[in-house]
Amino acid sequence: MPLHRRFGRFLLVARMVITIYCGYKVRQIHGRVTGGSRRRDFYDRQHHRAARHIRDTAVRLEGLIVKACQFIGSRADVLPPEFIEVLAEMQDRVPPKPFTLIRPWIENQLGRRLEEAFAEVEENSIAAASLAQVHRGRLHDGSVVAIKVQYPGIERVIATDLANFSFFVNLLARIERSFDFRILLEEVRTLIPLELDFENEAANARRFAANFAGVANVRFPTPIAELTCRTVMTMDYFEAIKITDLAGLERLGIDKHDVAALLTDTYIRQILVHGFFHGDPHPGNLLIQKGPDGPVLVILDLGMAKEFTPQLRLGLIRLTAAIIARDAVAIGAAFRDLGFKTRTGSDDTFVTLGELFLGQAIRSGKAYADMAMVDRINDELMAALRANPIVRASSDLLLVMRVMGLLSGLGKTLDSKVDPMAVMLPFLGLPAGP
């Protein structure tokens, strides 16, 4: 992408950030001048305006900003409802490309005429998200399929975003040493190209299905190899509803609390038992069907996944057990085993980190975070990092934290009653307690 287009993308993001920042500032001053009575109302409207501005910028720019919106729009636990309502659109309702563009692209990528590959392809897409849009179709044998088609040219847009992101992360790390996000950059750079390769996604789908073989209430798409390449993935179509469609769940007679429990169990199992987990459980990628014994969870969009070595998986189990037991020595040892190091070599920062990210959730007995938890994280973590900074961290835990954040948002939406301690203990090889 030429430099001026790359710069143009940056300017649009910068304009968005400045406009939103100023919008909140103006409201803050206005609120102070006019007194508190109408302040809430003002803020609600500003949230709406900010969310719409972010959405419009994302629709225009495409690429990584859509991914960022998906994450923000999934955090019903810590963000105002105005953000959730508007930004949730980016999970599966991004404006699609016209079929006149998509049809020749599928033919070109699969190397055969559409009529030859499919008996029918619906012209209107059923959904569209950050990298692809999905069309329902039928094979010549009559089976109904979902055809996931990567947007033509999206690879270049993403490469530009990665270059811009990399520039700023490196600049920030140089100017302000306590804001060093280079491990995040490294992780994003590793994971995003994998998501753009649908052969990789198809391989992941087969691997997840094998790991969950015999588990009737968790399903994954089965890719059709002859009709799948780097940019097109054909798979079985799922008649199902989105996990956050509370009215739909009620209509089907599915208890949302059962959905929350199944979801939590499925992801803990992937991380702590299989050591191979899906890193993108935002609501657009999770569907629910009605099974004979309660809900069935369908997990889609499996390009972003991570494998843990047995050593890493055991390290994480040890860390979780140490945090539950509030064993400071064991917490320090577990963090060090996972590749972390503090400047002084003492473990105080690790203990704070463990307590803030997992300990307080476990001890609160609540399935999702809230603003009070986030405030504690901000204040206490900053203080701990100032006193004894972490000089080496491992990028491996970032995707686990992303999963925890997304599940926390879903937990709030589903009004989860899951007790984090009770669901974790069996996976740690500890007795479940009295």
Ligand X SMILES: Nc1ncnc2c1ncn2[C@@H]1O[C@H](COP(=O)(O)OP(=O)(O)OP(=O)(O)O)[C@@H](O)[C@H]1O
Spatial separation of the C-alpha atoms in residues 272 and 173, rounded to whole Å:
33
Spatial separation of the C-alpha atoms in residues 15 and 167, rounded to whole Å:
18
In sequence order, what E strands does 67-178 have?
120-121, 127-128, 132-138, 144-150
Of the candidate residues 74, 285, 342, 360, the single one contacting ligand X (CB under 6 A): 285
- In this structure, how many other beta carbons lie within 10 angstroms of the beta carbon of residue 16? 18
Between 307 and 326, how does the x/- string for binding to ligand X read (CB under 6 A)? --------------------
DSSP notation for 105-120: HHHHHHTS-HHHH-SE
> Nearest-CA neighbor of 242 among 286, 282, 280, 294?
286
Between 287 and 306, how does the x/- string for binding to ligand X read (CB under 6 A)? -------------xx-----
> Scanning residues 39 to 78, which ones bind ligand X (CB under 6 A)?
70
With binding defined as CB under 6 A, does residue 351 bind ligand X? no
**CB of residue 210 to ligand X, shortest distance in Å:** 18
With binding defined as CB under 5 A, does residue 228 bind Mg ion? no
What tokens does 405 get? 């954040």
With binding defined as CB under 6 A, does residue 110 bind ligand X? no
With binding defined as CB under 6 A, does residue 284 bind ligand X? yes
Spatial separation of the C-alpha atoms in residues 70 and 283, rounded to whole Å:
9
With binding defined as CB under 6 A, does residue 221 bind ligand X? yes
Q: How do 218-219 and 294-299 pair as beta strands?
A: parallel
Q: Running DSSP on this structure, what letter comes out for residue 23?
A: H
**CB of residue 124 to ligand X, shortest distance in Å:** 13
> Scanning residues 128 to 157, which ones bind Mg ion (CB under 5 A)?
129
With binding defined as CB under 5 A, does residue 221 bind Mg ion? no
DSSP notation for 288-309: EEEETTEEEEEE---SSEEE--
- Overall residue count recorded for the chain in this entry: 434
> Scanning residues 269 to 288, which ones bind Mg ion (CB under 5 A)?
284-285
- Report the partner that residue 132 touches, choosing among Mg ion, ligand X, none (CB closer than 5 to 8 A by kind): ligand X
> Scanning residues 168 to 197, which ones bind Mg ion (CB under 5 A)?
none
Residues engaged in binding ligand X (CB under 6 A): 70, 92, 126-127, 129-132, 134, 146, 148, 221, 235, 237-238, 280, 284-285, 300-301
List residues binding Mg ion (CB under 5 A): 129, 284-285, 301
